[in-house]
Every structure is written in C-alpha cells, then in structure tokens.
Amino acid sequence: MTAHTTRLLLLGAVALFEPVNGYQIRRELVSWRVDKWAHLNPGSIYHGLTTLTGQGHLVRHDLLDGAREVAVYELTGEGRAELDRLMRSSLETVDPYDRVAFHAAFSMLPLLGRENAVACLEARRRALEETVEQFPDAATAKGDLGPPHAVRSLMLWRDMAVTELAWLRQTLHDIRVGSLRFDPDEDWGWRPPDDDPGWQMNIDREKYRALLNG
C-alpha cells in the first residue's frame, strides 16, 4: 500500500501545481506531514519523481530560470490516466484497518471533479456499509470471538468504521448541496495566508509556462 500511496501523492501533487519544480513538490508534501501518516520519507520524493519520469508518467523539463537551472515536472497522458486509476481505487476500496490511501486521495478530491467524486464516494459508502455489517456482534457472539480484550479490540475497529460511515454520509450530503465546493473559480470560504508558499508557486508556474512556450 505504501508504494501505491507514494505514486498517488507524487502524481497528485504534480497535477495540482504543474508545471512545478521538485523542491516545491517536496515542500508542499512535507507541509501535509506525509512522513507521519503516509510513511513517505521526504528524502525519497526526488527519487520517486525520477522513477515516475522513467515510467512515462511524468515529463521533466530542465529550464534556465535566470542564472539557475531548475527541473520542472508535468503529467503525461499516461500519468493522468494512472492518477485517475489510483484515486478511484483509493476512494472506493474499503480496508477498515488501513485508510492511508483513502486519506491521500481525499486530500486531492477536487482533481476528480464533483460528479466523479460523488460516484467514488457512493461506491465507498456501499462497501463500507457491507463492511460494518460483516463485523461480528459482540453482544450476541459471547465467547465465540476470543478473549475479552481481543473482542474489545475488534469492536474498536468496528466503531471506527461506523464513525467513518457517518462522516462519509455527511460529506456526500455537503457535496450535493454545494457546501463542500470543488471548482477553483468558486468561493471556498477560505483563502491562504499572505505568507503561504502557494502564492509564489502560482507565480513560478506562470513563469515556467512562459519558458516552456517560449
């Protein structure tokens, strides 16, 4: 699952900010604390970008930015198809014991667009409902599930799945009524602070586009 999530995060970060340089991708992902929850070592990000480029999912442009050489990345057509596949799989596949890939995909949900996001989350809701139903009922199973402390552990996993299901139903409702917005042109009710590095990333993106088109 770690390799799956790493590919998803790197392809998604490029898709969000392309054309973007490797340092910016690393800084952005580090700000998401991917080392804590996705087990992605910041030092391996450059290696991952090189690997994805070699596989044909990314294209690397070596640009001259003033007196400085910079490597800038964009998704290829194959990379976009792979990102779409990874996001859909991560959103729809339910593993009550591991939600890392789901968190990675959900953090980039606007990349799918509203209609596709709803379809994926609805598929997850149905799968999650089935998962909750498949957990044994500790109240009726009595001693059949094992020693009491093991049963308590099992019920914690079940309760976490139930909590996620309630969260997912509310999230789907918020998307449908428009309180959770997707389009970049919409007012999300949030603005990055003035010192957010994203502002400079936007400036650099336009500069890279001009260099690539020049």
Nearest CA-CA partner of 38 in 105, 83, 130: 105
Q: What is the pLDDT of residue 1?
A: 44
The pLDDT of residue 140 is 59
Q: What is the pLDDT of residue 155?
A: 86
Q: What is the pTM of this model?
A: 0.90
DSSP calls for 104-142? HHHTTGGGG-HHHHHHHHHHHHHHHHHHHHHS--HHHHG
Which pLDDT tens digit goes with each residue over 152-189? 888 888 999 999 999 999 999 999 998 888 777 788 88
